Amino acid sequence: MSLTKTFHIQTFGCQMNERDSETLAGMLTDMGYEEQEVRNDADIVIINTCSVREHADERFFGTLGQLKKIKEQRPEFIVALCGCMMQQQHIIDRVKTKFPWVDVIFGTHNIHEFPKLISALASEKERQVDVWEDGGEIVEGLPSKRKFSFKSFVNIMYGCNNFCTYCIVPFTRGRERSRRPEEILREVKALVDDGVKEVTLLGQNVNSYCGMDDAENEVTFPQLLYMLNDIEGLERIRFMTSHPKDLSPELVQAFADCEKICNHIHLPVQAGSDEILKRMNRHYTSARYLKLVDSIRAVRPGIAISTDIIVGFPGETEEDFEQTLDLCRKVGFDSAFTFIYSVRKGTPAEKYEDQVPEEVKHERFTRLVDVVNESAAARNAAMVGKVCDVLVEGSSKHGQEGMLCGRTSGFKLVDFPGDESLTGTIVKVEITEGKTFSLRGQIAE
């Protein structure tokens, strides 16, 4: 039996949380812990929570309940909680009273304090709760244990200033703070030296990135992209998320000029009705969104466009919903994350009185998914016969022996026969079949 202590991190929610979990894994590795695949066998379990969807809350409390048994069998077992849910006082209060087996609670702004909290737990032998309300200075140079050797997330900014009326993120992640460009460049160069080919730049709204350089000049997001595009050895640049209201002509130009920017943009539209967009506080109209799509396609004709759409926002009429369907048909999205609106405590939309009945939301959701799947299937079918560069991610998730999977520049998942030794390389694959959610192909001669 190994004497090395182990950890297991369970991550809910978005890429920001995934990236934070890599930092936590890096800190635990530096503290001498090893990763344990089986959650219930680990010495420390961290649950990195998300508060964007109601359903994530329920899953989280269910998971906490399951951990009670392990604590009873092994009192030295440590349960730590972090992430967006821990930035909400009503959740902390519930955890404190109903889940006494939780040992450590920290928030999104102080993950760098985690090692300190663990040693305080050991010395004081009592629960540690430390949640900061604001972000303060960005802490640079934290360790990281990456999930993939060949691709990596890179945070370029934290927080959000937009206050979309359905969203809790500005309350849990604080106001926007951009990293300094030289810190980002240093991190990406180090990743490339370590074998990374693709980076995904992360921020709640990357388009409003504004970092100060050494000479205290402002660097915008498009300017940052040009700098990253010049890094030798880096092959692909992705980013998310782009708010349509801040998508500038300079960013469109960067798509034209920077060959390393992937052929994909995730551009959440959320709704096709101007009235609903206004109630969501999104600051654009459907016409403006369509114009943006046209301008990006003018410089990158085959670009893949994905989106997020919320169905059943308070006050959404049948006519409003038809406008969402209409916008989807006009754009022809490659894929879409579709959500049924659910009330988030503490957001302005919680107070809106004209909530849409559940059965209406579900009926609209089905209709929306049909429209989105139709365009996704058509866009994928149009790729048959094309030869794409595919970054190989490993064996196919569909479990067929001898099959690999990877991503095209357009972020499309491709399954194809090949040897696992190709993992982490970029290969040319000819597309032989286009399905709704993925492609099939064969390595091109």
Which value, to the nearest 10 degrees, does the dihedral of the CA atoms of residues 193, 176, 344, 354 take? -130
Residues 227-246, one symbol each (x = binds ligand SF4 by CB under 6 A, - = not), give ----------------x---
* Region from 14-22, 55-63, 167-175, 345-353 binding ligand SF4, contact rule CB under 6 A: 167-175
Q: Which residue has the tokens 């866009």?
A: 379
Q: Which of residues 294-313 bind ligand SF4 (CB under 6 A)?
A: none
Minimum distance, C-beta of residue 174 to ligand SF4, in the bound complex (Å): 11
Residue from 74, 89, 163, 259 in contact with ligand SF4 (CB under 6 A): 163
Interaction of residue 160 with ligand SF4, rule CB under 6 A = yes
Whole-angstrom CA distances from 346 to 22, 166, 302 are 29, 9, 41
Structure-token pair, residue 283: 């600051």
Residues 200 and 151: beta-carbon distance below 8 Å = yes
Rounded to 5°, the CA angle 346-351-355 comes to: 120
Interaction of residue 264 with ligand SF4, rule CB under 6 A = no
CA 314 to chain centre: 25
Q: Which residue has the tokens 């010049």?
A: 230
Minimum distance, C-beta of residue 277 to ligand SF4, in the bound complex (Å): 12
* Region from 139-147, 162-170, 317-325, 398-406 binding ligand SF4, contact rule CB under 6 A: 162-170
Q: Return left, alpha or beta for 27; rule: phi > 0 is left, psi -120 to 50 is alpha, else beta.
A: alpha
Residue from 81, 92, 167, 184 in contact with ligand SF4 (CB under 6 A): 167
Structure-token pair, residue 352: 């809106």
- Tell me whether residue 49 or residue 162 sits nearer to ligand SF4 (CB atom): 162
Q: Which residue has the tokens 């096709």?
A: 272
Residues 302 and 263: beta-carbon distance below 8 Å = yes
Minimum distance, C-beta of residue 51 to ligand SF4, in the bound complex (Å): 11
**Distance between first and last Cα of the chain:** 49
Q: Which of residues 180-219 bind ligand SF4 (CB under 6 A)?
A: 204-205
Longest dimension (CA), the chain: 65
Size of the site for ligand SF4 (CB under 6 A): 10
* Region from 164-172, 376-384, 391-399, 417-425 binding ligand SF4, contact rule CB under 6 A: 164-172
Residue from 64, 169, 202, 240 in contact with ligand SF4 (CB under 6 A): 169
Footprint of ligand SF4 (CB under 6 A): 160, 162-164, 167, 169-170, 204-205, 243
